[in-house]
Amino acid sequence: MTYLRRAYVAMDTRVELAGWRDGASERELVQLLDEAAGVFYEVEAAATRFRPDSDVARIAAQPGAWVRVSPHVAYPLQVALWLAAWTGGRFDPACGHRLAALGFDTDYQTGQRFSWPGGSPDATFRDVELDVARMVVRTLRPLLLDLGAVAKGYAVDLALARLRGAKLDGALVNAGGDLAAFGVGPDGGPWQVVVAHDLPAFSPVELRLSAGSVCSSGLYARRGPNGAPHLWHLRPGRAQALAATVIAPYAMMADGLATACMLIEPDEIGRLCEEAGAEAKVWYEDGTTVETRGWRAHGVA
């Protein structure tokens, strides 16, 4: 049995791929993992809002026009628009220019800054039209999309699909805490995943995963230069959600849902996850937590 675990830097995070197959050579596995990791750079090139040559930047540059886009933008956008519609815009991919204005405007690869001062201050997801059949996008008002809450999960799913296609016995892809797996781990049992949030007195939760995805989102993780959190539309005057973890069949779902669950009311989480086909747990600043009914079926501790 040959088992390999390799780490990369992509999409402003640490990406780890692990996989194994009986009878494979190490060299073969290195090649398979490297090829699968290539997906992250393809998705990043199309979906980043930090580079002027990405699809997202081209859409911003042509408000009102149908812009042909990569599937790597169209599909994550489709999921983001689904979540935006469900949450009535509390989750909203049309917020890139606002995030850039908060200081989230620097490409981690080059250090160059890219903002979009021409973005309409009140643009929302309702100003975004997507035709998946033709792979075209049109914005009704000038705006910069942010696919950050979905694109990473989408890349995880694609990389994993590629490893599945390579007939590995098991593989796991982890992009900065957003992960998905198939098959069994190298010891023949389910993959062991620990949910660890950087919160006071947080007890790590252990999960066993043989297929599907676990993604996490946390308010503690990314802050702008002025200390502003990376989430748009926080819940003013209510107990703030600090972190969320979602278990779902796909990482592109779990990734977006983890963010969405932090933006909706605690009593909506069960309904959203039931409708989506996911389980979730959310941690609030007042020390309370909310979890869906099926969450504990996955948790060990």
Partner 1 sequence: MGKLGRAPLVAICTAAIAAVYGAGYVATEPYAHRVSPGSPPAAPQPHRGEGEAGAASAKYRDGVYRGSGTDQIGTIDVEVTVAGGRIAKVVITRCDTHYPQSDIDPALPDEVLKAQSANIRFVSGATLSSFAFAMAVQQALDEAKNPDSAGGGA
Tell whether residue 118 is a contact of partner 1 (CB under 8 A): no
Residues from 237 through 296 that contact partner 1 (CB under 8 A) = 243, 245, 249-250, 252-253, 275-277
The tokens describing 227, both together, are 């200390």
The residue from 26, 31, 68, 287 that contacts partner 1 (CB under 8 A) is 68
Interaction pattern, residues 133-172, with partner 1; x per rule: CB under 8 A:
-xxx-x---------------x--xx--xx--x------x
**Token pair in block for residue 252:** 């592109």
d(CA 123, CA 97): 10
198 contributes a contact to partner 1 by CB under 8 A? yes
Applying the rule CB under 8 A, the residues between 25 and 54 that interact with partner 1 are 34, 37-39, 41-42, 45-46, 51-53
Residue 8 in the binding site for partner 1 (CB under 8 A)? yes
Name the minimum Å distance from CB 153 to partner 1.
9
Query: Rounded CA gap, 74 and 142, in Å?
Result: 18
- Residues constituting the chain: 301
Indicate the residue among 196 and 234 with the shorter CB distance to partner 1. 196
Residue closer to partner 1, measured from CB, 101 or 215 = 215
In the complex with partner 1, the residue whose CB is nearer, 65 or 239, is: 65
The residue (of 92 and 157) whose beta carbon lies closer to partner 1 is 157
CB neighbour class for 230 (10 Å; exposed up to 12, middle 13-18, buried from 19): buried
Task: Map the footprint of partner 1 across residues 212-241, applying CB under 8 A.
Answer: 214-218, 220-222
Contacts of 49 (CB under 8 A, 6+ apart): 56, 57, 60, 96, 100, 114, 116, 144, 145, 146, 147, 148
Please answer whether residues 236 and 265 qualify as being in contact, where contact means their C-beta atoms are separated by less than 8 angstroms. no
Residue span binding partner 1 (CB under 8 A) among the ranges 21-29, 92-100, 174-182, 289-297: 174-182
Rounded Cα–Cα distance for residues 185 and 194 (Å): 14
